Amino acid sequence: DADVTQTPRNRITKTGKRIMLECSQTKGHDRMYWYRQDPGLGLQLIYYSFDVKDINKGEISDGYSVSRQAQAKFSLSLESAIPNQTALYFCATSDANQPQHFGDGTRLSIL
């Protein structure tokens, strides 16, 4: 089983819909992150959380929200999806000052 699991792996939806992407981990890490990957731009940090009661905005948080339901679960929501949010989304986890471990991503298409 994967240490960092993202669901769904693929999603196609329409403009204006609310979308939730979920991430769960079995690594026991305190820190969790959501990134967006676009061709030619690398990975951009959307939100991150250093423990259950901690939520921080990243570089590109506008249009997104997150919830840290438990140490092992971190979900990303798009309240009203728009086409330019079409991208590959990655969740990652880490311990303090340690490398990040990534899930296999969610490919999101917004029509």
Interface residues toward other proteins, by CB under 8 A? 4, 31, 40-45, 48, 50, 58, 90, 92, 94, 96-97, 99-105
* Cα separation, 95 vs 108, whole angstroms: 28
Minimum Å gap between C-beta 58 and other proteins is: 7
Measured between alpha carbons, how far is residue 31 from residues 20, 55, 61, 82 in Å?
A: 20, 10, 17, 28
Nearer to other proteins, 48 or 72 (CB): 48
DSSP tag of 83: G
Nearer to other proteins, 18 or 57 (CB): 57
Minimum Å gap between C-beta 103 and other proteins is: 5
Minimum Å gap between C-beta 110 and other proteins is: 20
